[in-house]
Amino acid sequence: MKPTPCDISDGACIQLSTNQTWIVRGDKIVYGPVPITHGRKGYETPVGKFPVLWKVKDDWSIPYNGPMPWSTYFTSDGIAFHEGSLTEPSHGCIHLDPKSAQYYFQNLSVGEMVQVVA
Q: Average pLDDT, stretch 2-27?
A: 94
The predicted model scores a pTM of 0.96
Residue 72 resides in a domain: yes
Residue 15 resides in a domain: yes
3-state secondary structure of 92: coil
Residue 109 resides in a domain: yes
- In the chain, at which residue ranges do the beta strands (DSSP E only) sit? 11-15, 20-25, 28-35, 48-51, 54-61, 66-73, 80-83, 94-96, 113-117
Instruction: Tell me the CATH number at 51.
Output: 2.40.440.10
Phi/psi at 33 (5° precision):
-75, 145
**How far apart, in whole angstroms, are the C-alpha atoms of residue 59 and residue 70?**
7
Q: What pLDDT shows up at residue 3?
A: 80
Of 61, 55, 106, 109, the closest CA to residue 84 belongs to 61
Mean pLDDT of the chain: 96
Residue 6 resides in a domain: no
Percent of the chain residues topping a pLDDT of 70: 98
